[in-house]
Structure 1
């Protein structure tokens, strides 16, 4: 993705051109196979399957369940936690925790300060203490503890925290825990706490770091055995099971904060001020979320897609969950509101392309988006017109606000991403109506964009930058292109794992799992395992790209959180299409129910 500036100093366009460092899907598969010691997939159009098309005689309907979050229910959300009434207590607790971080850093006790920083991060309050954490880590590095510690837990925790905070650290530090043959020492098998830290640290690995792959294999094997046989500590058992299910590095921050508060209060060594701060901060941020979702509910009702686009998913709260996952800190209210609007409109358009629209209608809609003007709506079927109007009004309003705040016009960037999205949607629609099953490589070449990742990241960046938006900052967005690519791949593959079965049953376009099954003649279980392996490899690339200092930290955080949110939403199936189970419970905890003080 390269930025191309127009002659006007206040107008910016973003176009995707050939990127010299871009690892395309074919290279992704080849690189992944290289790490597994297997032959790479080679794109071959003859391996794709074309069957006789069977055009639908009538419109398809996905039969999504109605929303479970009616406007009256949303309007009823309330909490007694407000910054006005609890602000003084919040500031007092922040001062106490800041002092604790400083005090721990000067005690020359590496394990103590690392554990405190890890707790601050996992409890969701690290945004209050960025300066203190950086200073504490600088003090720790200057003490040379990293190279001298022989404690596996301390070494692994330090490695994890340094990489999480963008500080370069070599994986060679784990060599001291390996035997002459290169495998980890058997004597470590009884150190469950250390192995758990080693397992978590291994997920910060990058391509080529074989020691971390060996660390992951070794630690996961022993931890699985420990859970089944020897662990008597219920709290440790829960931690191990949770990590084996989803490592900390892959978890959505807001969900992690909720879960870790419960876990931390059972820790005998807990810092009471930090625990109280975490609970209070969680409840105060929740009050911000309630204000935002009420505003969004009014906007959504005004659009009236419940009647104008009844074929689509009515998922305001679930879209808000996605926006919250990407940008959860309270100061980014504008970003969450804008992203939720984006996701709601995107969902309607996605359902129109995937299920409801006929191919000729979808071709017409794609052309209209390319034109990007109200006159183009006259050529659209009636049911498409309000959708098209909502899209243009949203994009134009976002651009107008950016111009008012920064003097920069990002409309060409916004339009370009919507055009890219609809072009990938129409490719999938043509595949469906033509009965065509692409190769996995061909599928991924289109699907990393059709999942919405690049468009989400552009919108999130524009909404986050606000009045700080400049030509230079937009140009810096380009440095994160590969990071956006890899986080989009993770998002797409998690989406496919969660939605493949229900979408396959209703006859939607094939996903990565079906493409690989058809191409390689393997079972669904084998295909799912292969896709999970691709996800793990893509996370290594995310880690590698995140470490580059040329990428703005805001882009790094947004991309990491988009990938994490995909893991969360699709962990137990289609958390958007079927939002009655785990998704409902999470939204209740995140938005409606405060944590008891």
Structure 2
């Protein structure tokens, strides 16, 4: 079948379907050219990288009197996207600095300049080490406000403080004040700054470091670092070589997944659905960029593809009777259910079971067969949540905001997504990790709220035009009889609170090892990037196209 018209022949032509007007892929078959089983890296480049890594490691472990240089070196390494090479030594250096300069949570006897203190505060918090924000009180005036006299000329300090505030937890009023102060002042002076400073400030105001994707930050920071007169040439060249080597790895991965998509022939079999394989690959890359997670990225990308097809089936195409049949078939989880489904749903059902069988085979080979049971259980819950929302739409039911958020726990498939992310993380993902995430810990609850509300704020008006279950925005407007803008403000307030919850859960001692928490943070970072002002996943001509081009098409000039 090659059109929606022919799909409609499966059922009565008068059935109403809320078909969305999704635009075709902007990438076509571009990435298929990179599909290959093996990717041989230039051994000369690999040798250069290893030599330069050794030099950087020596810089990190060298003994110096003052830790200030180490702090700024670590900050540059992280922002250049190189920290995955030096995790052990970065941990060691920051722990030493913490032991020497933090007493009872307070930074003491460290440099007094705002930039260095703010960078140290951010790095320690990022490392999971609690440090009090009281150190910033010294930059206040006698009235208890941040001193314009002290800070107005210190753009670097204000920018560093601005970045530090985004790792705040609940009850940190001083960081709330600092965020308001630095935002206002940076916005007011940005057009008076030199070109290079203006670029840095605009970038941070647009996408703060803590909420940006590491690869995007690396691509951006390489150009900023290159123009810094004090930059370390060895570190810069390492960052460029490493970026381009990883880019060639990602190109192969994107190519193989685009080839898989082409062979599935989804645009012809499900023409109502979004053709977004490249954007789904970008999601997978956002969850983990490190080279050792190649197989994990493949699995997560396939899951994002299937979730997109399910979303468009439940939200945009399937009739309520068809969806009830499909939901029953998923609950039974058996190929024998295919006979009762319309042809287009048979294809979707087979695709879901094919991925499950692929997961099962991988987990059997790794001796972790229990994982597929967690996946299957959460997949069924996910579909049931989608079905609840479909019934709400059919019955014109308007849930309360809290009822909506409650059902979204299942309909968002958020636990299922995390389980899929953990599948590819090897032996460290023991069964306790899957039990933990399945029980909706605080960080998972917060991340689900953030992802759902972030999506709703930018998509709700478009979706309501074609008929769609009420979003958080509509639910809140109706419940409290307020304007759309006021409901959006409430959603944004909840997103801010969700980030505070997540930041809190990443402070030591953590419930699970940090790599598992990082996946949760990274999923939220993808949301912050793709759904900044609009739905760039669905409408791919804008920023997302630029980001994919920067990471996957254009190499960094050496």
Same fold (TM over 0.5): yes
What is residue 487 of structure 2 aligned with on the other side?
527
What is residue 193 of structure 1 aligned with on the other side?
156
Alignment of 1:33-48 (within 5 A): none
Alignment of 1:284-433 (within 5 A): 284-433=245-394
What is residue 155 of structure 1 aligned with on the other side?
117
Provide the C-alpha distance between the structure 2 equivalents of 1:313 and 1:202, rounded to a whole number of angstroms.
Answer: 37
Alignment of 1:61-80 (within 5 A): 61-71=19-29, 73-75=31-33
- Deviation of 1:510 after TM superposition, in Å, equals 2.2
What is residue 510 of structure 1 aligned with on the other side?
470
What is residue 551 of structure 1 aligned with on the other side?
512
Deviations 1:15-50 (A, max 9, x none): xxxxxxxxxxxxxxxxxxxxxxxxxxxxxxxxxxxx
RMSD, aligned α-carbons: 2.2
What is residue 6 of structure 2 aligned with on the other side?
none
Match of 1:501 among 450, 461, 486: 461
- Deviation of 1:152 after TM superposition, in Å, equals 1.7
CA contact (8 A) 2:371 2:431 kept: no
SS at 2:502's partner residue? helix
Gaps of 5+ in 1: 1-55
- Deviation of 1:479 after TM superposition, in Å, equals 7.9
Match of 2:82 among 104, 113, 125: 125
Matched, 1:283 2:240: no
What is residue 8 of structure 2 aligned with on the other side?
none
- 1:124/1:449 Cα in 2 relative to 1: closer, same or farther (>3 Å)? farther
Provide the C-alpha distance between the structure 1 equivalents of 2:376 and 2:393, rounded to a whole number of angstroms.
Answer: 26
Provide the C-alpha distance between the structure 2 equivalents of 1:77 and 1:404, rounded to a whole number of angstroms.
Answer: 25
Alignment of 1:140-289 (within 5 A): 140-144=97-101, 146-149=107-110, 150-179=112-141, 182-190=144-152, 191-228=154-191, 231-289=192-250
- Deviation of 1:343 after TM superposition, in Å, equals 0.6
Moved more, 489-498 or 471-480: 471-480
Provide the C-alpha distance between the structure 2 equivalents of 1:139 and 1:180, rounded to a whole number of angstroms.
Answer: 34
Gaps of 5+ in 2: 1-13
Provide the C-alpha distance between the structure 2 equivalents of 1:573 and 1:327, rounded to a whole number of angstroms.
Answer: 24
CA contact (8 A) 1:480 1:551 kept: no
What is residue 19 of structure 1 aligned with on the other side?
none
- Deviation of 1:179 after TM superposition, in Å, equals 4.6
What is residue 501 of structure 2 aligned with on the other side?
541
What is residue 59 of structure 2 aligned with on the other side?
100
What is residue 460 of structure 1 aligned with on the other side?
421
Provide the C-alpha distance between the structure 2 equivalents of 1:83 and 1:498, rounded to a whole number of angstroms.
Answer: 43
Provide the C-alpha distance between the structure 2 equivalents of 1:579 and 1:264, rounded to a whole number of angstroms.
Answer: 29
- 1:536/1:440 Cα in 2 relative to 1: closer, same or farther (>3 Å)? same
Matched, 1:484 2:447: no
Moved more, 294-303 or 469-478: 469-478
- Deviation of 1:113 after TM superposition, in Å, equals 1.8
- Deviation of 1:472 after TM superposition, in Å, equals 4.1
Provide the C-alpha distance between the structure 1 equivalents of 2:149 and 2:35, rounded to a whole number of angstroms.
Answer: 54
Provide the C-alpha distance between the structure 2 equivalents of 1:580 and 1:497, rounded to a whole number of angstroms.
Answer: 20
Provide the C-alpha distance between the structure 2 equivalents of 1:468 and 1:173, rounded to a whole number of angstroms.
Answer: 37
Matched, 1:91 2:53: no
Deviations 1:145-182 (A, max 9, x none): 73123222221111100010111212232233335654
- 1:76/1:132 Cα in 2 relative to 1: closer, same or farther (>3 Å)? closer
Provide the C-alpha distance between the structure 1 equivalents of 2:150 and 2:404, rounded to a whole number of angstroms.
Answer: 43
Moved more, 563-572 or 73-82: 73-82
Q: How many equivalent pairs are there?
A: 537
SS at 1:410's partner residue? helix
Provide the C-alpha distance between the structure 1 equivalents of 2:439 and 2:391, rounded to a whole number of angstroms.
Answer: 33
Provide the C-alpha distance between the structure 1 equivalents of 2:439 and 2:407, rounded to a whole number of angstroms.
Answer: 21
- Deviation of 1:57 after TM superposition, in Å, equals 4.4
What is residue 9 of structure 2 aligned with on the other side?
none
Match of 1:115 among 43, 66, 72: 72
- 1:479/1:271 Cα in 2 relative to 1: closer, same or farther (>3 Å)? farther
CA contact (8 A) 1:110 1:154 kept: no
Deviations 1:461-512 (A, max 9, x none): 01112x4443344445468722122122222122122322322232222222
Deviations 1:445-476 (A, max 9, x none): 122442332211110001112x4443344445
- 1:240/1:480 Cα in 2 relative to 1: closer, same or farther (>3 Å)? farther
CA contact (8 A) 1:315 1:344 kept: yes
Moved more, 170-179 or 490-499: 170-179
Provide the C-alpha distance between the structure 2 equivalents of 1:128 and 1:389, rounded to a whole number of angstroms.
Answer: 40
- 1:169/1:444 Cα in 2 relative to 1: closer, same or farther (>3 Å)? same
- Deviation of 1:233 after TM superposition, in Å, equals 2.5
Provide the C-alpha distance between the structure 2 equivalents of 1:142 and 1:251, rounded to a whole number of angstroms.
Answer: 29
- Deviation of 1:390 after TM superposition, in Å, equals 0.9
Deviations 1:117-137 (A, max 9, x none): 111111111000112212221
Provide the C-alpha distance between the structure 2 equivalents of 1:206 and 1:311, rounded to a whole number of angstroms.
Answer: 43
- 1:436/1:407 Cα in 2 relative to 1: closer, same or farther (>3 Å)? closer
Provide the C-alpha distance between the structure 2 equivalents of 1:470 and 1:77, rounded to a whole number of angstroms.
Answer: 32
CA contact (8 A) 2:419 2:434 kept: no
CA contact (8 A) 1:517 1:524 kept: yes
CA contact (8 A) 2:34 2:256 kept: no
Provide the C-alpha distance between the structure 1 equivalents of 2:440 and 2:15, rounded to a whole number of angstroms.
Answer: 45
What is residue 59 of structure 1 aligned with on the other side?
17
CA contact (8 A) 2:32 2:256 kept: no
- 1:526/1:471 Cα in 2 relative to 1: closer, same or farther (>3 Å)? closer
